[in-house]
């Protein structure tokens, strides 16, 4: 992966916005299938409801979470990890719907990462005031695969930094249907979400739902 990974892609149109070498914002990428995608998310959360997990330090997260796919990301007092079972029910996480997997694979391909095969999809629900502090996604065994993040519902401020927490952070407004992909030299970039502003989205009401696809194992 080289620093000019996305050179020339800007010519494809304003829907593609390079954020850094290896990081791309695909504006409105998920909009064409929004109805089917939201229905799939609702079916997943009916089976494995959202919950506010606790960090190893004992802090309850402001963001509510659930998962689908062979493994799901969880956090509790014993640490961060991927687990094949929902700790609340003891059952396997819901299967990842083909529609969701195909969306992630196509977004990764369009951003320059072919052959992405996600095995985990973390689903986050942000309500007004909820935020995600700057962090790296590094609990995965395969750091060669990119991260694909899909936004639905209320707009959010996406914070995207460098490989050190102290690096300068960019601020990008993400709206319904936007997708961010980062990998290669940007795979361990610090990122987060600013406090969600209140509002009302036509389909999802007073919330933002975010899908984060990963290759965990």
The count of other CB atoms within 10 Å of the CB of residue 85 is 13
Per the listing, tokens 């299967």 go with 95
Tell me how many degrees the CA angle 167-171-174 measures, rounded to the nearest 5: 140
Which domains are assigned to the chain? 15-214 (2.60.120.590)
- Return per-residue pLDDT of the chain as tens, 217 residues: 333 443 333 334 348 999 999 999 999 999 999 999 999 999 999 999 999 999 999 999 999 999 999 999 999 999 999 999 999 999 999 999 999 999 999 999 999 999 999 999 999 999 999 999 999 999 999 899 999 999 999 999 999 999 999 999 999 999 999 999 999 999 999 999 999 999 999 999 999 999 999 999 9
How does pLDDT run across 100-145, given as a tens digit for each residue?
A: 999 999 999 999 999 999 999 999 999 999 999 999 999 999 899 9
Three-state DSSP class for 53? coil
Q: Are 187 and 22 in contact (CB under 8 A)?
A: yes
| Residues forming a β-bridge with 83 | 72
- pLDDT tens digit sequence for 60-69: 999 999 999 9
Number of Cα atoms under 13 Å in the Cβ half of residue 88:
18
Helices (H), the chain: 34-47, 98-110
Is pTM beyond 0.85? Reply is yes
Model pLDDT, residue 142: 86
């Amino acid at each position: 992966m080289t620093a000019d990974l996305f050179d020339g892609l800007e010519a494809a149109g304003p829907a593609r916005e390079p954020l850094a070498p290896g990081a791309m914002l695909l504006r409105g990428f998920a909009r064409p299938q929004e109805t089917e995608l939201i229905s799939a998310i609702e079916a997943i959360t009916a089976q494995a409801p959202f919950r506010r997990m606790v960090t190893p330090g004992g802090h309850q997260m402001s963001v509510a979470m659930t998962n689908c796919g062979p493994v799901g990301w969880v956090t509790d007092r014993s640490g961060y990890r991927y687990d094949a079972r929902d700790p609340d029910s003891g059952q396997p996480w819901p299967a990842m719907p083909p529609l969701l997997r195909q969306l992630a694979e196509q977004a990764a391909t369009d951003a320059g990462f072919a052959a992405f095969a996600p095995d985990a999809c973390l689903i986050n629900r942000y309500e007004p005031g909820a935020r995600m502090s700057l962090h790296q996604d590094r609990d995965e065994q395969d750091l060669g695969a990119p991260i694909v993040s899909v936004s639905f519902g209320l707009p959010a401020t996406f914070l995207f930094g460098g490989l050190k927490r102290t690096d300068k952070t960019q601020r990008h407004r993400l709206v319904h249907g936007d997708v961010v992909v980062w990998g290669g030299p940007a795979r361990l970039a610090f990122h987060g979400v600013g406090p969600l502003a209140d509002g009302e989205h036509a389909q999802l009401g007073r919330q933002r739902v975010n899908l984060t696809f990963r290759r965990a194992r």
